[in-house]
Structure 1
Amino acid sequence: MVLSYEPGVKSRIMVCVTPQKSCRRLVERGAERAKETNGEFCVVYVNKNNDISNDLKQNKVLLELFDLAQKMGGRVSILVGKKISKTLAEFAKENNITEIIVGKSLRSALDVILHGDVINPLKKEVEKNDIRVEVIE
């Protein structure tokens, strides 16, 4: 999915969210960065199941985050992909994203070992395209 941006916009911020209330701070940070850089921002969520209607029904928080993003001038995209880091990296490249904002994982070290990490593979993939990744505590 390719978004259309205003001509001349050089700063494109992508905010990655999950259905957690703590992601509100990420949306706010994305809006703030877009304002600081005279750019635009989008909020993205990756659905791994191909059944977004079920995700949206179960995740009122996700809808609240999307609503907040739109009220703050951002766009919203729901992506589908089995590997989250790869899906996010592809979207960032296709849309000429200049900066990505993600939240630090709340998962345990054991869970990361067993199920994999999203942030480090994402950083590795996008930094070769000069896309900056900001990890918010």
Structure 2
Amino acid sequence: MRRKKKVMVCVTQQKSCERLIDYGASLISSEHDELHVVHVVKENWKFFGQLKEEDALEYLFDVSKNHHASLSVIKAKDIEKTLSEYAEKHKINSIIMGESFEKDEQQNMISRLQEKTKVKVNFQIVPVDFDDEKNVISLE
């Protein structure tokens, strides 16, 4: 029996995250696979403070819906811990993230999330100039 794919796409409220969702959706090959789009915002940040943010959230919802993905928006004190716990709870086996331009490991969200993730998961990093699946970096 084929292992069920459970893909988690980590997004911000930026509309440019559609490329990440598109890539995550390309990994889904069966109606039994799951696509989770997850955005975690710091507890003390205003998420709906500006109309632009509300529009971006609506846009993410529409893109997720078009790909038959669930969209979770979570407020938390610790973003990486929350993403890690989400991955563990939902038995995620692939995490999709956008490329980070932070060179310092402490500032790099990808490195911090890898450190906090307790379950075995395949990290796939989609570059900003993503135009082909060969550009995606796989970190195991």
Do both share a fold (TM > 0.5)?
A: yes
Q: In the superposition, relative to structure 1, how do residues 73 and 52 fare at CA in structure 2: closer, same or farther (>3 Å)?
A: farther
Work out the CA distance in 1 between the residues paired with 2:47 and 2:88.
27
User: For structure 1, which runs of at least 5 residues remain unmatched after alignment?
Assistant: 1-7
Q: Which of 84, 94, 115 pairs up with 1:124?
A: 115
What are the equivalent positions in structure 2 for 1:19-98 lying under 5 Å apart? 19-35=13-29, 39-49=33-43, 54=48, 57-59=51-53, 60-98=55-93
1:69 and 1:82 map into 2 onto residues whose CA distance is 25
Q: TM-score, normalised by structure 1?
A: 0.77
Identity within the alignment, %: 32
Tell me the equivalent position of 1:16. 10
Equivalent residues of 1:11, 1:37 under 8 A apart: no
Which 4+ residue blocks in structure 1 deviate beyond 3 angstroms? Answer: 50-53, 55-58
User: Where does the alignment leave 5 or more consecutive residues of structure 2 unmatched?
Assistant: 128-140
Matched to 2:8, the amino acid is M
Structure 1 residue 71: Cα displacement: 1.2
Say which structure is richer in helix. Answer: 1
* Aligned equivalents of 1:35, 1:16: Cα separation in 2: 20
RMSD of aligned residue pairs (Cα, Å): 2.6
- TM-score, normalising length from structure 2? 0.75
